[in-house]
Structure 1
Amino acid sequence: MSVQSGGGLSTHVLDTARGRPAGGVRVELFEVGDERTKLTEALTNPDGRTNTPLIERGQLRPGTFELVFHIGPYFAGFPDVTEPPFYDIITLRFTVADTAAHYHVPLAVSPWAYSTYRGS
């Protein structure tokens, strides 16, 4: 079995208000340089993850990236959330320096707060 070397990029969305993964959240990935270029788009599955990495292992390059989470539609319709939801789009900008490492950038979110970190 061949294991692909090099880094990649993945994400995960967790609904901290309900204590469960957030499925059905649209996530866009952009590379930011002289211009902002859309690389891919995906929906989170019932486990709150995308079905495939946003950048496959071995395809990661150094640079600045943005993950854009369209969280408003996810929270719309929950009875405890204002209409429209407080958060609509959450953008996380980060820099990749080590292309040999895997970058996992999860979003832990409630209708009123969010946090993130760099995982592996």
Structure 2
Amino acid sequence: MPFALMGIPAAFVIGAVGFAARSAPAGRHARVLRHHLGWGSVLSAIGLAVMLLTAWATYGDQYYDDLEWAGIFLASVMGGVLFLFGLGPFVPWLLGLLGRSAVRLPPPVRLAARDLAGNRARTAP
């Protein structure tokens, strides 16, 4: 039964990789669209709220039967997946920020940072 429950979060993880890849700009100097960052922020906030609610719900010392335990476990995992799903668009944005600020880095790190920033579509997922 736990393996069947893990199929749902696994599907969301696959979607998160696609969302991160889609939110990455195609060009080296292009910027991440604001609506991708907005949706990412909303999804991260929802995921964090779900994780906080499940942690608050299980705070008391109660006995849970198997079905309640599975539901709480699935809700907490889904909250974590939504949180990570929402962080997807921030990876290309942070890589672009790193590439723009690479001027102040030492030469080997600068080359690596610019390479990462130039290939954000492949680096993000």
| TM-score normalised by the chain length of structure 2 | 0.27
Which of structures 1 and 2 has the larger relative contact order (alpha carbons within 8 angstroms, sep 6+)?
2
| TM-score normalised by the chain length of structure 1 | 0.27
More helix by share: 2
More strand by share: 1
Please identify the structure whose Cα radius of gyration is greater: 2
